[in-house]
A and B are shown apart, each in its own frame.
Chain A
Amino acid sequence: MKIYADHAATTAMSEAAIDAMTRCMREQYGNPSSLYRIGQEAKEILENAREEIASLIHAEPREIYFTSGGSEADNQAIRSAALAGKKKGKTHIISSAFEHHAVLHTLEQLKTEGFEVTLLDVHGNGIVLPEEVEAAIRPETCLVTIMYANNEIGTVQPIREIGAVCRAHRVLFHTDAVQAVGPAAIDVQAENIDYLSASAHKFHGPKGTGFLYARKGVPLIPLINGGAQEKGKRAGTENLPGIVGMAAALKEAAAERDAESARLTALRDRLIAGLKEIPHSALNGDAVRRLPGNVSFCFEGIEGESLLLLLDEKGISASSGSACTSGSLDPSHVLLAIGRVHDVAHGSLRLTLGRENTPEDVEYIISAVKDVVAYLRSFSPVWRDLQSGKTAFIL
């Protein structure tokens, strides 16, 4: 049995994307900046991909800037809005406590450059409240950056409402939509979004490719200086195979979105129901307002890395927010942000379902997780103390 259940980390490339990329690498090797025929053919393919992607999120082609991925797009959007704000004396930025590190570390850097950052509470259910965004806005606020959907617990934010608040107060609004582009039907206009970051490998496209949507008229500065590619906002010869693969993957994801979303939601809810049968466990994040494939749990009395290794032995690829898997001493900042204490956050498991997963996979996962949790608890001194009443259960 081999089950890939870590689609929030990355996804298998779609055949459509591989085909488009292979063709591009074989036949369309021209440089889009060259004036001769194969260069201009490459240019046409590049612009077709831009149009395709723009139409899928209700943007204009000139509002799409190709990047190396989500992190670059996040950095560019935030830095652009911050710099424009600073010129007007506006140095306050609003974000949330459970953003991706591409956002949080950029904000940390900006703090050393004189910016003040407010990180909003995400509450026990992992949802940012639009009224709290509004309350945090000050005359000197230049940017609000709130992720579309959280990468660990999958909670989907009220983006349209947050966008409306920002629009009403004339504050720029960026959303890191890396987990949402693909599964979610995004309309940047209706949702009042000024900047949006996306990454191809999260929706069955290639790694190292992404895009930034920047609404026409919003400030945009290049992070990489050089040639005039991407209207001077992102120098360097375009990663044409990657871009073409991304467009093909997104087109496919959009075409199957409704059916796939319904299918995955049913699988997700079955998985949640199955894992809830494990005593002293809890789902992380809102049970309804979450991505179709995301299941995140905490199990008391065990540690996440050993759980992952044993699941790997059973053929299941999953992820955890434990300290031992994050490479630091603290467990995931996302789990801490929703109020999970350290002891419990160490015992977290993230299963993210996707295109290849079946109902049989879900049943196998439920039984495997039950076995592994019970096994690890059988020789856990923490579990012994909880069972004997020496310490109190949290979950």
Chain B
Amino acid sequence: MALYSEKVMDHFLHPRNVGVIEDADAVGEVGNAKCGDIMKMYLKIKDDVVEDVKFETFGCGSAIASSSMATEMIKGKPLSEVAALTNKAVTEALDGLPAHKIHCSVLAEEAIKSALEDYRKKQENK
């Protein structure tokens, strides 16, 4: 019995959408190094659709896998759908996480919410 599902290991070993978008329209960052988890999401948004997304994560295997999965789930999606993404959906897409790692999926949801909040503020200031 492995610690993580095959899906989690796949996303951990081959994370999708890793990196930075220099001219991102929105950036969200959550967590802190003291707790051992930081996630940063960069979004490129056009016509209320997430055109591109990249992430950087400092954290455990499930934090990296959750970030990777979450980016896949929002890429190409309208903002209304992106805003509705829950940690539960991320966990399910990963075929589950160990109980003490569920917070990693929460962090992924929060990172996206934080990026959307950043986008909203930027739009208001335009």
Contacts and interface: CB of A to CB of B under 8 A. Distances in A.
B84 interface: no
Interface in A305-358: 305-306, 309-310, 313, 322-324, 327, 329, 331, 341-343, 346
A382 B33 contact: yes
Contact of B60 (A313, A324, A341, A380): A324
Interface string B95-118: 000001100000000000000000
A381 B60 contact: no
A381 B101 CA distance: 20
Nearest to B98: A327
Interface stretch (B34-42, B45-53, B73-81, B85-93): B34-42
Contacts of B29: 381
Interface residues of B, number: 27
A342 B9 CA distance: 26
Contacts of A306: 12, 59-61, 63-64
Contact of B100 (A302, A304, A327, A379): A327
How large, as a class, is the contact surface on chain A? Answer: 20 to 34
Contacts of A379: 15, 18-19, 55-57
A383 B57 CA distance: 10
Interface in A372-389: 379-384
Given A305-B60, A380-B58, A313 B13 contact: yes
A381 B56 contact: yes
A303 interface: yes
Main secondary structure on B side of the interface with A: mixed
A380 to B, nearest CB: 4
Contacts, number: 66
B56 A331 contact: no
B58 A303 contact: yes
Contact of B56 (A304, A329, A380): A380
A382 B19 CA distance: 13
Nearest to B104: A324
A37 B92 CA distance: 62
B19 A305 contact: no
Contact of B36 (A301, A310, A324): A324
A384 B56 contact: yes
Contacts of A383: 58
Contacts of B34: 341-343
Contacts of A323: 35-36
B63 to A, nearest CB: 8
Contacts of A382: 33, 38, 58
Interface of A: 301-306, 309-310, 313, 322-324, 327, 329, 331, 341-343, 346, 379-384
Interface of B: 9, 12-13, 15, 18-20, 29, 33-40, 55-61, 63-64, 100-101
19 contacts: A306-B59, A306-B64, A323-B35, A323-B36, A324-B59, A329-B35, A331-B36, A342-B33, A342-B36, A343-B34, A379-B18, A379-B57, A380-B38, A380-B56, A380-B58, A381-B39, A381-B56, A382-B38, A382-B58
Given A323-B35, A379-B57, A381-B38, 15 more contacts: A302-B58, A303-B36, A305-B61, A306-B59, A306-B61, A309-B12, A322-B60, A331-B36, A379-B18, A379-B19, A379-B55, A379-B56, A380-B56, A381-B39, A381-B56
